[in-house]
Amino acid sequence: MEAFQDFLSLSIRAIRNIFRGPHYADDIFRQMDIIGVGSLPIVMLIGLFSGVVMTMQMARALQQYGAEGQVGQIVSIALVRELGPVLTAVLVAGRNASGIASELGSMKVTEQIDAMRALGTDPIQKLVTPRLIATSFVLPLLTIIADFIGLIGGAVIAYALLNISSSQYWTSAWMSLEYNDLAQGLIKPFVFAVVIALVGCFYGMRTSGGTQGVGRATTKAVVVSSVWIFFLTSMITRFFLYYT
């Protein structure tokens, strides 16, 4: 309970700092580079293979009904609504929540965070808020890229293995998407980004116990943010299914 209160307190201060100075633009861009550009290759790879695998699996199921022509529709809905946001977020959580927790954890155990406070800098303003802004900005973009690459992978498989023409695949994929799907596909990564950044920073900032403590903080950050991603995706999906 105390940990949750501390997490809420950190989150409120980090979000409040977005609207008041000083702003560390250099740190924000550096984090965008680390989180966004750094995660791009792996996100593209995973996006491609999810599209490929999903197309093959769905095609097999649809063949039973002679409806393999609709594979583009199923792949696009699944990718845009669910798989793209969740897989990208889990990847970024594994790569960046751990990175954030270990970096801040190392700073904590070597008293760099205390030094920052003693030398006139609010560590939440300097360390947490830039990571929050950067992750919230780049994760939706990474998700869009993963979705698109996944659809391309699906198109290649549909054409090469299923003899579905490219125009049929893309028309089916495009026509099946509604604003509701796009909204889900963009709101989810934004919410996940907030969770990944804050959970990573939270466990990093409360690290204790030397290098072992840094290891524990890193593991906790990945596990907790991943669990939250799956919990929140079910909540958001439920919201969209029942209230829109």
Partner 1 sequence: MSPDSSRTGELVRFEDVSLRFGGTPALEEVSFAMGPGETRIVLGAAGSGKTTLLKAALGLIKPDSGRIFLFGTEITDLSEQNLFDLRARAGILFQEGGLFDSLTVEENVAYPLLNQRVLREAIHSNGTGHQPPVQTLEKRVRETLHFVELDQTLDKFPSELSGGMRRRVGIARALVTEPALLLYDSPTAGLDPITANTIIALILKERELRNTATILVTHRYLDGHLITNFRYNPSSGTVERAPRSAEGAEGVKTKFFVMKEGRLVFQGSESELQAASDPYVLKFLRHGSS
What does the binding site for partner 1 look like in residue numbers (CB under 8 A)? 109-112, 114-122
Residue number with CB closer to partner 1 (83 or 113): 113
What is the closest distance, in whole angstroms, from the C-beta atom of residue 106 to partner 1 in the complex?
Answer: 8
Residue in 232, 223, 220 with CA at minimum distance from that of residue 194: 232
Q: Which amino acid is at 181?
A: D
| Cβ 29 to partner 1 shortest distance, Å | 15
We find the least distance from the C-beta atom of residue 116 to partner 1, in angstroms, to be 8
Q: What is the DSSP letter of 120?
A: T
Q: Which is nearer to partner 1, 30 or 216 (CB)?
A: 30
Whichever of 6 and 111 has its CB closer to partner 1, that residue is 111
> Which tokens belong to 90?
């889990």
| Closest by Cα among 54, 234, 233, 40 to 154 | 54
Q: How many CB atoms lie within 10 A of CB 165?
A: 12
Smaller CB separation from partner 1, 188 or 206 = 206
* Tokens coding 162: 């299923």
Kindly state the smallest distance separating residue 5's Cβ from partner 1, in Å.
Answer: 15
- Strands of 17-142 (E only): list them: none
Query: Beta-carbon neighbour count of residue 139 at 10 Å?
Result: 29
**Shortest gap between Cβ of 24 and partner 1 (angstroms)?**
11
By beta-carbon proximity to partner 1, the closer residue of 122 and 181 is 122
* Nearest alpha-carbon partner for 191 in 150, 125, 243, 143: 143
